[in-house]
Amino acid sequence: MNDIAIDLQRIVKTYKSGSIEVQALRGVTLRIERGEYVAIMGPSGSGKSTLMNVIGCLDRPTSGNYHLDGIDLSALDDRALAKIRLEKLGFIFQGFNLLPRTDAMKNVSLPLFYAKVSPRERRERARAALAEVGLADRGHHKPSELSGGQQQRVAIARALINNPAVLLADEPTGNLDSTTSEEILALFESLHRAGRTIVVVTHDEEVAERADRVVRLRDGLVLSDTPTARGHFSGGSIVPQEATPQS
């Protein structure tokens, strides 16, 4: 086991658009420990979406090293990266991104389907995951039959079901009203207390404040990396946490 969940070293990402090269990330070094709750902030164009895609293994850095849960990702092919996304990462999106024609149970158990888990076990684990986010009785509802907050909780259950090393949330409250946002943030906090590693990408200061640590990006570089008022550590030095993810 590794205490470092995410280890980014001098990550550079360059996009080519015709003859113009755009440097989205210009050497980001960032280390996130197991059990941390980190917010990544920055104005649009700061590279935070690109960083999230790199952390989420949806995009490859042009240069630099990335270790996720102790695994060096630079040499992995598409199939292996898909496996990493499946086993090590849980995605939570602004737009929920549930499969529209599929009920909550099926949505939640989809990662298990790709992990080739038996249908019986898929059902049992999906039921348990829905119960964990307080939607035990909504298993057979389709996304269109659920409120925004409920849909996001289904998405969180889906992200949790493979017991990932990192929960990666992209503007998780962006499409929700303040009351529902509060519910989702409270859920994140309880997951954090239970030992989950959570990375939230947001431009919302209120959302960022709920994390332990805020990383601010500007022009593809880390501008600041500071603990919040709630943070368990200070001065940028990292205090290892005892908590481990629960299954």
Partner 1 sequence: MLDYIRETLELMQANLTRTILTLIGLVVGVAAIISIQVAAAGMAAAVSGAFRGINVNTFFIFPKSTQGSTQRANLGLSDLTLLEQNVPGIETAIPFGQTRTIVSAGHQHVMLKFGGESYRRFSTAPVVAGHAIARTDVENASPVCVLSSKAFARLFPHAVDPSTVLGQSVYVGPKRYVIVGVLGPATLSTASLGFDINNDVVIPYTTFYNDYQRGRPLFGIQVLGSRDATLATLEANAKRVLSQAHGGSIYQTFDFGFFTKQIDGFFGVVGTIVSAVGAISLLVAGIGIMNILFVSVSERTREIGIRRAIGASRATILIQFFVEAFVLAFSGSLVGMLAGLGIGELAQQLFIARISGTIAALPWTQAMLLATLFATVVTLVFGTLPALRAASVDPIEALRYE
| Closest by CA position to 50, among listed 38, 40, 62, 59 | 59
Residue 231: CB minimum distance to partner 1, A: 29
The token pair that represents 75 in the structure block: 């040499």
Name the E strands within 202-246.
213-218, 221-227
Size of the site for partner 1 (CB under 8 A): 28
The token pair that represents 14 in the structure block: 């360059």
16 φ, ψ (degrees, to nearest 5): -105, 125
Q: Which stretch binds partner 1 (CB under 8 A): 4-12, 102-110, 138-146, 202-210?
A: 102-110
Q: How many CB atoms lie within 10 A of CB 226?
A: 12
Phi-psi sector, 149: left (phi>0), alpha (psi -120 to 50), beta: alpha
Residue 33 or 59: which CB sits closer to partner 1? Answer: 59
Residue 146: strand, helix, or coil? coil
- Judged by CB under 8 A, the chain residues 109 through 148 that form the site for partner 1 are 110-111, 113-115
Residue 35 or 56: which CB sits closer to partner 1? Answer: 56
Among 158, 196, 210, 213, binds partner 1 (CB under 8 A): 158
Residue 104 or 214: which CB sits closer to partner 1? Answer: 104
| Closest by CA position to 55, among listed 95, 97, 91 | 91
- Binding to partner 1 by CB under 8 A, coded x per residue (else -) over 57-86, reads -xx------------------xx--xx-xx
- The H or E element that residue 51 is part of is helix 48-55
Residue 229: CB minimum distance to partner 1, A: 32
Examine residue 53 and tell whether it contacts partner 1 (CB under 8 A): yes
- Binding to partner 1 by CB under 8 A, coded x per residue (else -) over 82-101, reads xx-xxx---x-x-x-xxxxx
Identity at 14, one-letter amino acid code = T
In the DSSP assignment, the letter for residue 145 is G
Among 47, 56, 61, 149, binds partner 1 (CB under 8 A): 56
Residue 82: CB minimum distance to partner 1, A: 4
Residue 78: CB minimum distance to partner 1, A: 5
Examine residue 182 and tell whether it contacts partner 1 (CB under 8 A): no
Name the E strands within the chain.
4-17, 20-33, 37-41, 63-68, 71-72, 89-92, 166-170, 198-201, 213-218, 221-227
Residue 101 or 137: which CB sits closer to partner 1? Answer: 101
SS3 content of the chain, % helix, strand, coil (to 5): 35, 25, 40
Which residues here bind partner 1, judged by CB under 8 A? 53, 56, 58-59, 78-79, 82-83, 85-87, 91, 93, 95, 97-102, 106, 110-111, 113-115, 158, 162
